[in-house]
Amino acid sequence: MNTTTAERLDLIQIREDFPILKREIAPGIPLVYLDSTATSQKPLAVIRAMNDYYERSNANIHRGVHTLAEEATAQYEAAREKIARFIGARKSCEVVFVRNTTEAINLVAFSWGRKFLQRGDRVLLTEMEHHSNLVPWQILAQEKGLELDFIPVTENGLLDLDEFQRLLGQKPKIVAVTQMSNVLGTINPVKQIAQLAHQAGAVVLVDGAQSVPHLPVNVEDLEADFLAFSAHKMLGPTGIGALFGKEELLEAMPPFLGGGDMIKKVHLRSFSANELPHKFEAGTPAIAEAIGFGAAIDYLSRIGMERVAAHEREIIHYALEALSEIDGLTVFGPPADQKGAVASFTMRGVHPHDVSQILDSQGIAVRAGHHCAMPLHEKFGLPATTRASFYLYNTHQEVDQLVRGLAKVKKIFG
């Protein structure tokens, strides 16, 4: 491991860009934010971009011809183009704005799935999926009589690829898989999965909620047919995300929602849909949020995703080594070189919610619960875990504070 890679990030300057990191949770107790897997903090550049829109250019988009409407439309569509470049999409029309990753996956399930899946068809998922990549397919399976299959997770937190290849023999119509687990941190070999799935005739949807914020992701290289991700996990605002879909797939899909802006013509008993991507963007969209999303893309692009990933690799190596020295603490998932900057753990004799509350009293924000992945926790026989997750603004010193906080937990519970 090259210990100088993370030093290329100017952490002092980066942390200056995030006003919330200066907050004290109580007098003399600074915030240590270790919950970026749930949502990231926002830099001033994003906050200012959204404020500037509201202060200078607030108007509805696409229809108006006055100055404010044209400015707002230009900023909104510029954000789409930035996102397309960021993920390596061929055309900006392959990027559809949605509310979040959940809505993106629902769009695919209920538009592509309703049109192209028939009774008895198989959908192949994994045991480590977030509920957002389980429940939409469960709903569709109940509605259309589909079969759901699951790639197992091994004891060390990896996908069983031998079983995956066996399941491909069942000829699934779609393979929907997370690129990075929000619990285990496992980085799945999505490119290999996509290649094998395509050979078996399946379409591939990638849940990129945890990968796009933390790794260089290129849809052409991954050979993904669909990619879903959220702005709020990658320095942007809540309430907006993106669905990438190959143009030919999106063209073949019916609209997901009906209303304004997704139509070309409307008659009393019929309508014709708008061109891509507007066919899937009904009603007034989250304009300010899209502009903030674009600003977040600008921020990450200036830093470089390779540098972000390098910093996080160093942080998770350091964290896992430090946590391994705590007696009675078990971290779940693969080793640091096979995972992102996520550490989900249990402490012997202490409920994860108690761990989280005691850490919070010391200003340390972590997550406790099943993290919207109940089946995965059931797989490992766990009611819950405590999760510490890291991002480009976290430091070794904050890992040390986490370790000291856990020492206090142990002391309180004897």
DSSP letter for 55, please: I
Per-residue pLDDT of 353-405, as tens digits, reads 999 999 999 999 999 999 999 999 999 999 999 999 999 999 999 999 999 99
Q: Do the beta carbons of residue 342 and residue 316 sit within 8 Å?
A: yes
Percent of the chain with pLDDT over 70: 98
CA–CA separation, 113 and 124 (whole Å): 13
pTM for this prediction: 0.96
Residue 127: C-alpha distances to residues 80, 173, 194, 273, 387 (Å): 32, 18, 17, 37, 19
> What pLDDT does 4 receive?
45
Domain with CATH 3.40.640.10 in the chain: 47-302
> What pLDDT does 394 receive?
98
Q: What is the mean pLDDT of residues 302-313?
A: 97
> What pLDDT does 356 receive?
98
Q: Is 372 a catalytic residue?
A: yes
Grouping H, G, I as helix, E, B as strand and the rest as coil, residue 309 is helix
Pairing of strands 241-245, 367-369: unpaired
Of 158, 146, 153, give the one whose Cα is nearest residue 122: 146
> What pLDDT does 260 receive?
85
What is the 3 state secondary structure string of 188-218? CCHHHHHHHHHHCCCEEEEECCCCCCCCCCC
Domain 47-302 - what CATH class? Answer: alpha beta
Q: What is the mean pLDDT of residues 229-245?
A: 98
CA–CA separation, 393 and 22 (whole Å): 12
Better-predicted residue by pLDDT, 266 or 124: 124
Strand ranges in 91-235 using DSSP code E only, listed in sequence order: 95-98, 122-126, 147-151, 174-178, 203-207, 226-230
> What pLDDT does 3 receive?
39
Going by pLDDT thresholds of 50, 70 and 90, the confidence category of residue 5 is very low
> What pLDDT does 135 receive?
98
Domain with CATH 3.90.1150.10 in the chain: 6-30+304-412
Choose, from 68, 257, 372, 403, the residue flagged as catalytic: 372
Going by pLDDT thresholds of 50, 70 and 90, the confidence category of residue 2 is very low
CATH topology assigned to domain 6-30+304-412: Aspartate Aminotransferase, domain 1 (3.90.1150)
Per-residue pLDDT of 321-335, as tens digits, reads 999 999 999 999 999
Going by pLDDT thresholds of 50, 70 and 90, the confidence category of residue 261 is confident
230: CB partners within 8 A, 6+ apart: 100, 101, 209, 240, 241
Percent of the chain with pLDDT over 90: 94
> What pLDDT does 392 receive?
98
Length of the chain in terms of residues written: 414
Grouping H, G, I as helix, E, B as strand and the rest as coil, residue 63 is coil
Going by pLDDT thresholds of 50, 70 and 90, the confidence category of residue 1 is very low
